[in-house]
Amino acid sequence: MRAMVLEAPRSPLVARDVVEPRPDPGQVGVRVLACGICRTDLHIVDGELAEPRLPLVLGHQVVGEVAELGEGVSRFVVGDRVGVPWLGWADGTCAFCRSGRENLCPSARFTGCQLDGGYAERLVADARACLPVPAAIEPVDATPLLCAGAIGYRALRMAGDASIVGLYGFGNAARLVAQIARHEGRRVFALTRPGDVETQEFARALGCAWAGDSTQPTPEPLEAALLFAAVGELVPLALASLAPGGVAVCAEIHMSDIPSFPYELLWHERQLRSVANLTWSGGRELLALAAEIELEAETTTFSLEDANVALAAARSGEGGTAVLIP
């Protein structure tokens, strides 16, 4: 089969003909229909994640059709449409897995990092990790839901019943979260780079009650602040904008160092939390909700052979999620 392979950090992907993988017991073989490019892919290419398996097929926002069932798999039939996310395997026996928090499993393995991903015509995946994709969602539109959407959804769930939610950084994940929060009746404030009038206008058009600079105070205290920008300096600013009892949630896998801040910003029972990966149950919930409310995401498609061009587009942040089509 065709695949785009990362052979060394900080190197372009290379087109290769590789042996088509076959599913082991508990796995499914998936014919890839579309694979979104995530910023985490860029971290892997740039050598910023410590443990990728090389050579490697990247890609963890994969939508495809089940083409083959491994021994013991009964959850799916051939032809089912599934999504394969970042969390590709967990041991199922640790305290985290037993409590529905497999995202914290110390033995976890990740799609497109330790496990080959979706920059290819086919892949194999643990059937437990595969998420049913409703027929109402087109494959390309579903790809950003499998990481940006899933992480954003988990961050929003950490906000509890907060009625005023601030989104720091208004990229792919925040735009999806804004739609869900509005559907749930919450008021959303969008906080962008200083002077980014275009993004602020887009946020208001998407239904945000207010949009402004992330370095400035919000017009009202927030009950929750969700940080989708990997800028540690924003954390004290977000805490300063919280009402007593509010929560700030850091939703990035990487963030620059958080500067010291006075205890006063955390006092009055404010909380500071982080999101790690996704849970499989959360991914299933999000995909079902996305079909119900017709969640919209901006995407740009590229052929599989143009994966390096697509990575450059993802690095620029223009055009929404870059999606590869085999």
Cβ neighbours for 72, distance < 8 A, ≥ 6 positions apart: 25, 26
For 40-54, 109-123, 149-163, which range has the lowest pLDDT when averaged over its residues?
Answer: 40-54
Residue 50 has pLDDT above 80, yes or no: no
Architecture of domain 150-274: 3-Layer(aba) Sandwich (3.40)
Residue 57 has pLDDT above 90, yes or no: yes
Residue 210 has pLDDT above 90, yes or no: yes
Kind of pairing between the strands at 122-126 and 27-36: antiparallel
Give the model confidence (pLDDT) of 3-36 as tens digits: 999 999 999 999 999 999 999 999 999 999 999 9
Domain regions of the chain by residue span: 2-146+278-325, 150-274
Spatial distance between the Cα atoms of 135 and 126, rounded to a whole number of angstroms: 21
Task: Give 315's pLDDT tier (boundaries 50, 70, 90).
Answer: very high
Of 140, 135, 125, nearest to 85 by C-alpha is 125
Of 274, 296, 289, nearest to 154 by C-alpha is 274
Identify the residue with better confidence: 89 or 319.
89
Residue 52 has pLDDT above 90, yes or no: no
Residue 45 has pLDDT above 90, yes or no: yes
Residue 221 has pLDDT above 80, yes or no: yes
- pLDDT > 90: percent of the chain: 92
Spatial distance between the Cα atoms of 129 and 76, rounded to a whole number of angstroms: 12
Predicted pLDDT at 253 = 81
Predicted pLDDT at 62 = 98
Spatial distance between the Cα atoms of 307 and 325, rounded to a whole number of angstroms: 10
Give the 3-state secondary structure of residue 81: strand
316: phi then psi, degrees, rounded to nearest 5: -75, -25
Spatial distance between the Cα atoms of 234 and 250, rounded to a whole number of angstroms: 10
C-alpha pair distances (Å), 23 with each of 55, 88, 115: 20, 14, 13
Own/partner long-range contacts of 134-138 (Cβ < 8 Å, ≥24 apart): 134/287, 134/288, 134/290, 134/291, 135/81, 136/291, 136/294, 137/287, 137/290, 137/291
**DSSP symbols for 55-75:** SEE--SEEEEEEEEE-TT--S
Q: Return the structure tokens found at 135.
A: 């027929």
Predicted pLDDT at 317 = 80
Architecture of domain 2-146+278-325: Alpha-Beta Complex (3.90)
